[in-house]
Amino acid sequence: MMYAILCYNNEAEVFSWSKEQDEAVMGRLAVVHEKWEKAGKLKPALRLMPTSAAATLRKSDDTVLDGPYAETKEQLLGFYIIDVADLEEGLSFARELAVANPGGAYELRPIMLYLPGAEAKAYP
Amino acid sequence: MTDLAWIEAAIAGARPQAVGALLRYFRDLDTAEEAFQDACLRALKNWPKNGPPRDPAAWLIMVGRNAAIDAVRKTKRETVLPEEDQISDLSDAEGAAVQALDEGDYRDDVLRLLFICCHPDLPATQQIALALRIVSGLSVKQIARAFLVGESAMEQRITRAKAKIAGAGVAFETPSAADRSERVAAVAAMLYLVFNEGYSAGYEEQSARAPLCDEAIRLGRLLLRLFPAEPELMGLLALMLLQHARLPARFDGEGAIVLLEDQDRSRWDRKAIQEGLALIDKAIRHRARGPYQVQAAIAALHARAKSAGETDWAQIDLLYGALETLTPSPVVTLNRAVAASKAHGAEAALAMIAPLAQRLDSYFYFHGVRGNLLMQLQRNSEAREAFDRAIALANTPAEAAHIRQHLDSLMADAKK
């Protein structure tokens, strides 16, 4: 079974960590990562940039809003990881997706740290 | 992380919102600060025992408000309120109530707290000191260290600044849209002052002052979360991130300044650069150019160049042209001339700065740049004169030493 684990925390607090605190947390996480990666069970992991760097494409009227997706009526149903030149190219991709699958929104959040993890295996 | 470390981070993260809300309740800065301090002391006792509250800001606001009211009631010999132990686990219902109470005002609370530090009667240094004390919660000792003054002198300065804003009266009604955007602009300018206070530090002052840059960036992110559609706030945050990214490469082993074109770019902070670039991408979509965005765009072109030789100087020249239109100043023109010299040659740049000679006659950089351009054109005796003038006007030994290198190379040329 494959799972996506979504990480939630208080943003104002996490971005108030000192450099040393941040490094200490990342260091402790790295120990856990390494163990599960060696077992071939940890796939890509990532740390997102603060929500102040996010933009959101509202599919219904093709509007780009600044900031994260704030509505709570919809649920998180999936996500993509893309590697593009800039926000515009990212939006082009999101717009193509929106045509194929209207309804809801896509939040584009830049990735701060990308860990590829154990080599991806085919979905069982 | 130790208990104390995460509590400190939680308090720091919650501080602007909590002090801002308490200020709205009590309409008095000292009372609000005392109430917050009280709540923090209780948090230090309570949180390790009961675990972190889900919403530290809501907890601190509620406990701070109760503590202050409690103090009043005690003096009036009335019944005391329940201890915070009983509200340590803010149930969802209570949490929602606090949130409903605050959500609408939260944005204006934080903005108000930042804005009172921008009082036009306060000189820039006092604005910065006040913001660091009130909004960021830095200790007087830390602030004094950053400004290289004694603790008691800084204490006095902050007390005087507080008295001034208390006398000036603070507007507590919900601001109009126009007022709000004026406040945002004033606060943005103040944040950039805080940033520059850290960024302009010399090598020896780095450890004391660099935290000011981090703090300005943290507040910049907070402000943008509150006003997510303000392109100039995106520009400001991007500018600060892109400049801060170069910090690890700005000084050599001996503490001498390393100029942008000589910096080891592998030491630049890529994470900060990526965040800055993402913010510029967002800002550009608004098609509402402003000085922070243009300066950030210039910084972005430097950040994108893999080596100094690959810098897009023609584009930087154009951006400085745009900045000249937005905020005309001889210093902007001088900066533009440096870009123009790389894009179009020293002759063109020299013509560009010629009209500035009178206004910038006592400005170190003007003579440094002029000497450099003259040197490129092999007008060596004129270059030497300009460099001599620059050395006479240098603010720091590092600046003088840098110009002396040019003079040395001129001498070496002359001997050939």
SS3 B392: helix
Sheet of strand A105-108, all strands in order from the earlier edge strand to the far edge: A63-66, A55-58, A105-108
The Cα of A50 is separated from the nearest Cα of chain B by a number of Å equal to 8
Question: Does an H or E element contain A58, and which?
Answer: strand A55-58
Per-residue burial over B206-227, b if 16 or more Cβ lie within 10 Å, else e, is: eebbbbbbbbbbbbbbbbbbbb
> Which of B12, B55, B275 has the CB atom closest to A16's CB atom?
B12
DSSP bridge partners of A46? A114
Same domain for B128 and B154, yes or no, is yes
Distance CA B208, CA B196 (A): 13
Distance CA B344, CA B338 (A): 10
Distance CA A28, CA B161 (A): 44
Helices (H) and strands (E) in chain B, counts: 18, 0
Contact B14 A12 (CB under 8 A): yes
What angle do the packed helices B231-244 and B206-226 form, to 10 degrees?
Answer: 160
SS3 A62: coil
The pLDDT profile of chain B, 416 residues, written as one tens digit per residue, is 567 888 888 998 899 999 999 999 898 888 999 999 999 999 999 999 888 888 899 999 999 999 888 777 766 655 555 555 555 455 444 555 555 455 557 888 999 899 988 888 888 888 999 999 999 998 999 899 888 889 999 999 999 998 888 877 777 777 888 888 888 999 999 999 999 988 887 777 777 788 899 999 999 999 999 999 999 999 999 999 999 999 999 988 888 888 899 999 999 999 999 999 999 999 999 999 999 999 999 999 999 999 999 999 999 999 999 999 999 999 999 999 999 999 999 999 999 999 999 999 999 999 999 999 999 999 999 999 999 999 999 887 878 888 888 888 888 877 65
For chain A, the residue count is 124
| φ/ψ (deg, to 5) at B289 | -60, 140
How would residue A84 be classed by pLDDT, with cut points 50, 70 and 90?
very high
> Which of A50, A52, A64 has the CB atom closest to B285's CB atom?
A64
Residue B251 lies in a domain: no
Q: What are the residues whose beta carbons fall under 8 Å from the beta carbon of A23, sequence distance 6 or more?
A: none
Higher pLDDT, B294 or A21: B294
> B83 with B37: CB under 8 angstroms?
no
Distance CA B312, CA B318 (A): 10
Q: Which residue of A has its CA nearest to B231?
A: A66
The pair of three-digit structure tokens given for residue B402, joined into one six-digit string:
């840098």
The pLDDT of residue B2: 63
Question: Does an H or E element contain A113, and which?
Answer: strand A111-115
Same domain for B105 and B181, yes or no, is no
Same domain for B86 and B128, yes or no, is no
> B374 with B342: CB under 8 angstroms?
no
Which of B154, B187, B220 represents a domain boundary (last residue)?
A: B220
Give contacts of B222 with chain A, Cβ < 8 Å: 12
Contact B279 A53 (CB under 8 A): yes
Distance CA B173, CA A58 (A): 33
pTM tops 0.90: no
Q: Which residue of B has its CA nearest to A47?
A: B271
Which of B75, B110, B145 represents a domain boundary (last residue)?
A: B110
| φ/ψ (deg, to 5) at B83 | -65, 160
Number of domain units in chain B: 3
Q: Which residue of A has its CA nearest to B273?
A: A112
Distance CA A113, CA A116 (A): 10
Q: What are the residues whose beta carbons fall under 8 Å from the beta carbon of B113, sequence distance 6 or more?
A: B16, B19, B20, B23, B134, B135
Distance CA B122, CA B348 (A): 41
How many residue contacts between A and B have a Cβ separation below 8 Å?
80
The Cα of B229 is separated from the nearest Cα of chain A by a number of Å equal to 5
> Which of B9, B279, B281 has the CB atom closest to A13's CB atom?
B9
Give me the torsion for CA of A44, A45, A51, A53, rounded to 10°.
Answer: -50
Residue B368 lies in a domain: yes
The pLDDT of residue B78: 53
The pLDDT of residue B75: 66
Q: In this predicted model, what pLDDT tens digit does every residue of A44-70 receive, in sequence order?
A: 999 999 999 999 999 999 999 999 998
Domain boundaries, chain A: 11-115
**How far from B333 is each of B14, B140, B378, CA to CA, in Å?**
42, 39, 23
Residue position matching structure tokens 């302009």: B200
Q: What are the residues whose beta carbons fall under 8 Å from the beta carbon of A112, sequence distance 6 or more?
A: A46, A47, A48, A49, B271, B274, B275
Which of B110, B138, B154 represents a domain boundary (last residue)?
A: B110
Higher pLDDT, B30 or A91: A91
> B36 with B56: CB under 8 angstroms?
no
Identity at B159, one-letter amino acid code:
T
Per-residue burial over A50-80, b if 16 or more Cβ lie within 10 Å, else e, is: bbbbbbbbebeeeebbbbbbeeeeeeeeeee
Same domain for B37 and B122, yes or no, is no
Residues from A contacting B (CB-CB < 8 Å) are 10-19, 21, 24-25, 49-53, 55, 64-67, 86-88, 110, 112-113
Domain span holding position B410: 361-416
The Cα of B228 is separated from the nearest Cα of chain A by a number of Å equal to 6
If you ran DSSP here, which 8-state letter would residue A119 be given? P
Contact B14 A15 (CB under 8 A): no
Query: A11-115, which class in CATH?
Result: alpha beta
Which of B233, B281, B301, B304 has the highest number of chain A CBs within 10 A, making it the mutation to test binding with A?
A: B281
Contact B9 A52 (CB under 8 A): no
Distance CA B381, CA B376 (A): 12
The pLDDT of residue B93: 46
Contact A88 B221 (CB under 8 A): no
If you ran DSSP here, which 8-state letter would residue B261 be given? G
